[in-house]
Amino acid sequence: MSRELQNLSKETPRIDALERVTGQAHYAEDIYLPGMLFARVLRSPLPHARIRGIDSSAAEALPGVRAVLHSKNCDVIWSSGDRHGRRRLFADPARFVGEAVAAVAAVDRHTAEEALGLIRVDYEELPHVLTIEDALREGAPQVFPEGNIEEEVLRFETGNIDEGFRQADSIYEGEFVSQYLNNAQMERRVSLAQWDGDRLTVWASTQGIYNCQKDIAHDLKLPLGKVHVICHYMGGGFGNKNQGYDFDLTAALLARKTRRPVRVEFTRHEDFIAVHGRWSTQQHYRIGYKKDGSITAIHLKAYSNMGAYLRSHGNLQGPENYSSPNIRSEIYRVYTNRSCSANFRSPPAPQGVFAIDSAMDEIAERLQMDPVEFRLKNAIQDFSADKKPLTSNGLRDCIRRGAEAIGWAEKRRQYSGQSGSIRRGIGMGIGTWSGGLGPSSAEIKLLPDGSVKLMVGVTDIGTGAKTTMALIAAEALGLPLESISVVWGDTDQTPYSPGESGSRTTGDTGLAVIEAAKKIREQLLTQAAAHLKVRREDLALRDGKIVSSANPGQSWSIAEVTATNIDAISAAVTTQQPDDGSKSGKTRLSFTAHFAEVEVNLETGKVKVLRFVAAHDSGTIVNKLTARSQVQGAVTQGLGMALREELIWDGHSAVPVNNYYHGAKPMTHPETPQIEVIFVETEEPYGPFGAKKLGEAGMVPTVAAVANAIYQATGIRFRELPITPDKILIAMNPSRDRKEAVALPPG
Amino acid sequence: MSRELQNLSKETPRIDALERVTGQAHYAEDIYLPGMLFARVLRSPLPHARIRGIDSSAAEALPGVRAVLHSKNCDVIWSSGDRHGRRRLFADPARFVGEAVAAVAAVDRHTAEEALGLIRVDYEELPHVLTIEDALREGAPQVFPEGNIEEEVLRFETGNIDEGFRQADSIYEGEFVSQYLNNAQMERRVSLAQWDGDRLTVWASTQGIYNCQKDIAHDLKLPLGKVHVICHYMGGGFGNKNQGYDFDLTAALLARKTRRPVRVEFTRHEDFIAVHGRWSTQQHYRIGYKKDGSITAIHLKAYSNMGAYLRSHGNLQGPENYSSPNIRSEIYRVYTNRSCSANFRSPPAPQGVFAIDSAMDEIAERLQMDPVEFRLKNAIQDFSADKKPLTSNGLRDCIRRGAEAIGWAEKRRQYSGQSGSIRRGIGMGIGTWSGGLGPSSAEIKLLPDGSVKLMVGVTDIGTGAKTTMALIAAEALGLPLESISVVWGDTDQTPYSPGESGSRTTGDTGLAVIEAAKKIREQLLTQAAAHLKVRREDLALRDGKIVSSANPGQSWSIAEVTATNIDAISAAVTTQQPDDGSKSGKTRLSFTAHFAEVEVNLETGKVKVLRFVAAHDSGTIVNKLTARSQVQGAVTQGLGMALREELIWDGHSAVPVNNYYHGAKPMTHPETPQIEVIFVETEEPYGPFGAKKLGEAGMVPTVAAVANAIYQATGIRFRELPITPDKILIAMNPSRDRKEAVALPPG
């Protein structure tokens, strides 16, 4: 970093830490409005069923029940529930176990729940499919009349794949499988809706207040300005809370019908199945390579199980992380009668990188090359897969510094040729993170007392975004952090934001904050020069005072320039597309290399991660404290995905059997090893003060690093996630029946 | 009106009528926050007392009590409680009965009230004064060491007053008295405070969210950006809710101490004495006039009783309504040990105009001129009293059209020389309204679906301001009213506003709305021209579509220009001082003439107002429906002031005895006669679409018109308000002891 930074690249506690840890922060479920009703949702017990009829008369007659909605009295389409707009708010037919069938609003929770039991639904059961294999079988039950495969195939092609394989000395082939797992964020779904006349306010737990606004307005046919969405605090989402949701619409419709505020709440069980999780995949890799270790061709053919509706793209990260001149990737999206698959922190990456970085380790081994050396040779370098120059690239520094930190060379040697039942291994993986989601906005007011209101349409989803935005504003304005008040999370209060996803906030909204700050400084100092009869170029803003460089002792308060006019100095900036380098035809990527050291007990099949090093190039780190937390949280999720997590549907009934924390077993912090985070702060010309994206990058190669470490420890290549003790035991003792082990009850 | 208006000058129901009449509107007292505490205030039972000590230990020990504040543990100054900053949040000494001495926050209302009774205050009683007369007496008890008269005297002088009296053929002298009366708005005081870390949110019932923010920030020594004030609905204020108040500070301090949201609520009794009412006055007029009916000099010497602290100016309207070349006005503000006096709808006017228009009626009678003719001759014409040209003046049209509507000439004749105990009379008065409160701001966003978000920092205090602002925006944008959503009443959501007082919203903020709308149209059509490759001058905005004048069939949606970028078209405007004509050295005034027809029962002393005509020149009427309601509401208040209202303090204990609705007897709508409102829509060059101020003008000459009508009916000139039955009976039968009648119990 050549610039001298006052506020950034330091360890700064969150500006809202106090209210978060003392219970003063108000989440959607902390809001109680006078006369508020509680709503509960009735869900389909069948994976595929037509709904012949619904009798809700007994429920409606229950004292305390105020309204019942279902497919026979409400035909609203929840359009962000399916990219093709095929999803009704209340299912008919139901396409997965847990799909909403009806909703009840009542004076209290217990009455609402009792009323659910009084609704009589006449289901006509239809045949169903759960797996990619079954869905593709000839004559399989059809989730949609159009078939079980999404018509549009995701294709990427560069170079000449056939020529690439011709140039290869050898060809690697491997098949990888990953499972569905839920985002499992702490905060359950809550949506509270209230109408003021024809204007709707929704307190949502959302990553994207403006997405939520847009989707609700669209589905309820309201003008955008009539929908007000508030999300002041939220307890995690990990990609699972970035649209308008069915429960938002349900709350709004019930509130309209009852003329009362209505809160829809999910139980933890509902939360696991009625929203979405990560798409499970089958990935087939064919990779051509030369004796010298260079890669000539990568061909990925994969299937993503999207569940019952198409809610996200279903893509996979992988081939683009390596500098092969010839790449072909084709990804087929498959429909099944399961809960939907959609975005979960770095949506296409951990399962994709698990596959390619397992494959690359296998190739390195065949070539007798060290995995670190192999990646230093082949990792993406100056250009992206689509041949655009990269704005900066610290990946090789990440690989080298991570390897050094974990003691790669020595441990790799030490752990080769072990015996006994306790074996150790070391492994690595690499990843990238890109993205850019369109316009970013920020608004700043400099108040007469020298304090600042910074308005950004972001929600702080746990990343510390409020603090990050305040730090960037303080830096750009030349004011102390304490003078900045952030206004956030309210469509009536803040400018547009495309939502906190794609790790976009620091890198994109940060640029808008800097632009607004520049305008503020310029206005203030120009007005000051005119008002104080001082040359503009002699004035600067420092610590809330206007200071003169011509006369060092002299300073003026901001109020001396603005008088009492609160609106005197304000600036609003919208960048249609923040300049992340794309205007110059470049691509801005973040990079990461992860290293895991594991111990495998061959008698119990248990894997213990002893140490983890995560090296990241995200340019300048705005706040090292929260950035490190981001990576540690992401790695923790990656470890769970590698070793434990999978939502299991009963093969016969299609009922999810472990849709709760204890059953789903997400990794918790006390279970994780020491996670060491290294920041490689490359000189990035396009980020705000040189910052690039971070949050999602933290999870990209975690699974791959663990899988590769287990391979070194056991000599067994696990190609199916999660790598659970039963799989390890079966692999160590191939005579045991694999099916039997997999069918062990969860938990 | 020469312009063709699409939306204005019509009868438009309020855009929030539904929520107001169905109970869906949320006032401050409708907000319940989790864990919220209820606070109650202990008030001084003595009019003047030092506080030797306070023992709050028993109150603090009461289960459920969370905090007790009083002068011994809190020395915060409530600076907007007194213009000299002498007022402590908790009194020491107490200077009037009802001044706050302590406050309790507890888990429920009953506990808080019980705790008040457990606080032991050791008072040292001091001598007190209640009336102007007593306060000015030699050796009177002193409210402040500096004396009972405010040092600064309000003086206005134009011409040469001595020369004016020399030119006069005759000189009139008269003394008038008006009483204290409370604003008596429906909604009691409620303030709810909540801290998020170091950021304070206050749900207030306020006419000025930004005044409230500024005052709270000042008194609690917080940066402006850390104070967030919300007022979405409020149930009237009439000038009584336009600052930060002691109860706002109390709520904030108790919330900080308890770390819980705290709501301070007043009872109706507290509401009547602990805030403020209209200043009572003694006014002495000396007026010189010629035989031809022209006025040569007006000299007003008056005293305003400001109560225990100076919270407003204490001025009086009067001399400036007549075009006398020589005017002297001197107003002395007097302190007494009574509740404070400050702003109440048209603060200086009804009591001032009662005096001058009674005097003018007397002079007209002496000259044997008709009161209408006398005013047509003498009323303010082309210049204001300070010799500035008026931007427009429809006063004479108001007088003529009002006189015609009430049938002045015929009734005046008919009611002269009545006998019997039922007598009728007709009377009139005239008034003006000016003002201008500094910067006005508005922000507009044109959303991709063609809907509009209009952000204005106003609260809708009952005037229909939200609807007015929406109408002006619709007119200026060329969009239908339905497409406009107004965002208001929240310092985090809206630009600055100086508060809804001085009837400033339509005339001042309306101009900022028009400016912002112009910028929006310009941006949109410029972007459209570039994007659609059409000439800018061929494009217009109509009904939410961009239309081509070159090709009448052709139109484009706004989304075709802005894509999905919600921030693409937005404009924020702040006018440091809206151009109300003052930039050209002119004065913009609204005008009014009121006419009352009354029936007086000489046996009961009861006055019945049979008919009332209010003619108003407020330029273009933006919304005739709410404008008429404004005038009718104001006249209703004026009738109460003329005939019934007076807060009475017991002469010995200085305790207010009728501080509740039934005792204070404000006039209610069912009691009022038919109130006919006439709008004289003059061509005003400086208002928004020609609009001028209205709300307060509606009350200015009401009292005078009634008093003059009673004079015609009875032949008795009442120079003291209110003109109650007891006063009429005493006047009809002068032998009865006046004191005895006044001392009748209220109600």
**Average pLDDT, integer, range A107-131:** 98
Model confidence at A735, pLDDT cuts 50, 70, 90, reads: low
User: What's the pLDDT at B735?
Assistant: 66
Strand order across the beta sheet in which B555-557 lies: B539-542, B545-548, B555-557
Q: Return the domain boundaries, chain B.
A: 17-24+437-579, 31-126+186-236+241-273, 277-435+585-742
Backbone angles phi, psi at A27, to 5 degrees: -90, 170
Residue A747: its pLDDT value, please?
37
The pLDDT value given to residue B703: 98
Averaged pLDDT, B301-323: 97
Ranking B170-179, B430-439, B600-609 by mean pLDDT, the lowest is B430-439
Distance CA A635, CA A626 (A): 14
Å between A30 CA and nearest CA of chain B: 7
Residue A470 scores a pLDDT above 60: yes
Distance from the A491 Cα atom to the nearest Cα atom in chain B, whole angstroms:
9
List beta partners, residue A595.
A428, A613
Closest Cβ–Cβ partner in A439, A490, A567 for B496: A567
Confidence band for B743, pLDDT divided at 50, 70 and 90? very low
CATH number of A344-435+585-742: 3.30.365.10
B107: pLDDT strictly greater than 50: yes
Angle between helices B209-220 and B246-258 (to 10 degrees): 60
| Record: fold of B17-24+437-579 | Aldehyde Oxidoreductase; domain 4 (3.30.365)
B543 alpha-carbon distance from chain centroid = 37
Please tell me which residue, B447 or A168, carries the higher pLDDT value: A168
Distance from CA of B737 to the nearest CA of A (A): 55
Among B16, B450, B570, whose Cβ lies nearest the Cβ of A572?
Answer: B570
pLDDT at residue number B206: 93
Inform me whether the C-beta atom of residue B578 falls under 8 Å from chain A C-beta atoms: no
- Identity of residue B678: I
- For domain A31-126+186-236+241-273, the CATH architecture is Alpha-Beta Complex (3.90)
- The per-residue b/e assignment along B213-230, b for 16 or more CB within 10 angstroms, e otherwise, is bbbbbbbbebbbbbbbbb
What counts of helices (H) and strands (E) characterise chain A? 20, 27
Range with the lowest mean pLDDT among A27-36, A641-650, B431-440, B560-569? B560-569
pLDDT tens across B647-657, in order? 999 999 999 99
CA A268 to chain B, closest CA, distance in angstroms equals 22
Stated as kind and residue range, the H or E segment containing A592 is strand A590-601
Contact predicate A504/A435, CB 8 Å:
yes
Q: Please, how many CA atoms are within 13 Å of residue B677, restricted to the half-sphere of its CB? A: 24
Q: Is B583 exposed, middle or buried (0-12, 13-18, 19+ CB in 10 A)?
A: exposed
Q: Give the residue on A whose Cα is nearest the Cα of B487.
A: A492
Give bridge partners of residue B613 from the DSSP assignment: B595, B676
Torsion of CA A631, A632, A636, A641, to 10 degrees: 10
User: Secondary structure of A389-424 in the HEC alphabet?
Assistant: EECCCCHHHHHHHHHHHHCHHHHHHHCCCCCCCEEE
Of A260-274, A306-320, A445-459, B336-350, the one with minimum mean pLDDT is A445-459
Mean pLDDT of B95-116: 98
Q: Say if A344-435+585-742 and A437-487+494-576 have the same CATH topology.
A: yes
Mean pLDDT, rounded, for A526-536: 89
Name the pairing type of β-strands B280-289 and B277-278.
unpaired
Is the four-CA dihedral B141, B143, B144, B148 of positive or negative sign?
A: negative
The Cα of A386 is separated from the nearest Cα of chain B by a number of Å equal to 26
Would you state the pLDDT for residue B676? 98
Chain B residues lying within 8 Å of A566, measured CB to CB? 210, 214, 224, 439, 496
Residue B742 has pLDDT above 60, yes or no: no
**B570: pLDDT strictly greater than 70:** yes
> Is A259 in CB contact (< 8 Å) with chain B?
yes
Q: What CATH architecture applies to the domain A437-487+494-576? A: 2-Layer Sandwich (3.30)
As beta bridge partners, residue B178 has B281
Q: What average pLDDT does the segment B177-196 reach?
A: 95
User: Which residues of A fall within a CB distance of 8 Å from B195?
Assistant: 24
Percent of chain B with pLDDT over 70: 97
Q: What is the ipTM of this complex?
A: 0.75
CA A244/CA A249 separation, integer angstroms: 8
CATH number of B277-435+585-742: 3.30.365.10
Q: Above 50 in pLDDT, residue A2?
A: no
First to last CA, chain A: 48
In this predicted model, what pLDDT tens digit does every residue of A657-670 receive, in sequence order? Answer: 999 999 999 999 88
**Helix H or strand E encompassing B335:** strand B327-335
Cα separation values, B418 from A68, B594, B612, B715, Å: 70, 23, 21, 10
Residue A62 confidence (pLDDT): 98
> Phi and psi dihedrals of B486, rounded to 5?
-95, 130
pLDDT of residue A549: 86
pLDDT 10s digits, B190-208: 999 999 888 999 999 999 9
Interval B108-166: pLDDT, tens: 999 999 999 999 999 999 999 999 999 999 999 999 999 999 999 999 999 999 999 99
Contact between A458 and A531 (Cβ < 8 Å): no
Confidence class for position A507, pLDDT limits 50, 70, 90: confident
Other CB atoms closer than 10 Å to residue B142's CB: what's the count?
15
pLDDT tens for each residue of B516-527: 999 999 999 998
Q: B476 to chain A, minimum CA–CA distance in Å?
A: 18
HSE, CB side, 13 Å, CA atoms: give it for residue B173. Answer: 2
**Cis amide bond preceding B722, omega within 30:** yes
What share of chain A has pLDDT > 90, as a percent? 80
* pLDDT bracket for residue A436 (50, 70, 90): low
Question: Which of A18, A80, A565, A567 to substitute to test the interface with B, most B CBs within 10 Å?
Answer: A567
Rounded-to-integer distance, Cα A49 and Cα A78, Å: 19
Nearest to A508 by CA among A593, A573, A592: A573
Q: Does A495 touch chain B (CB under 8 A)?
A: yes
Q: DSSP secondary-structure letter at A378?
A: H
> Is the link from the previous residue into A93 a cis peptide, with omega within 30 of 0?
yes
Closest by CA to B528, choosing from B513, B540, B512, is B540
- Report which of B154, B375, B174, B372 is spatially closest to residue B287, judged by C-alpha positions: B174
B197 touches chain A (CB under 8 A): yes
Does position A741 have pLDDT exceeding 80, yes or no? Answer: no
pLDDT value of position A738: 46
pLDDT at A544: 77
Chain B: give the shortest CA distance to residue A159, in Å. 34
| A-contacting residues in B 408-447 (Cβ below 8 Å) | 438-439, 441, 445, 447
Give residue for tokens 């909540």: B194
- B 113-132: CB under 8 A from A: none
Q: Within its chain, how far is the Cα of A689 from the centroid? A: 24
Residue B317 has pLDDT above 90, yes or no: yes
CB contact under 8 Å between A224 and B451, yes or no, is yes
Interfacial A residues in 203-222 facing B (CB < 8 Å): 210, 214, 217
Question: Which pLDDT score is estimated for B576?
Answer: 66
How confident is the model at residue B186, as a pLDDT?
92
pLDDT at B736 over 80: no
Q: Does B224 touch chain A (CB under 8 A)?
A: yes
pLDDT for residue B1 is more than 60 = no
Q: Which residue has the higher pLDDT, B543 or B361?
A: B361
Give the pLDDT of residue B583. Answer: 83
A487 neighbourhood in chain B, CB within 8 Å: 492
In SS3 terms, B696-731 reads as CHHHCCHHHHHHHHHHHHHCCCCCECCCCHHHHHHH
Taking the whole predicted model, whether its pTM rises above 0.90 is answered as no
| Rounded distance between C-alpha atoms, residue A314 and residue A310, angstroms | 9
**CA atoms of B130 and B149, how far apart (whole Å):** 13
Alpha helices in A497-607 (DSSP H): 510-532, 558-562
Output DSSP code: residue B48. Answer: S
- Whether A449 and B224 lie within 8 Å, measured CB to CB: yes
Confidence of residue A5 (pLDDT cuts 50, 70, 90): confident
Q: Give chain B's mean pLDDT.
A: 93
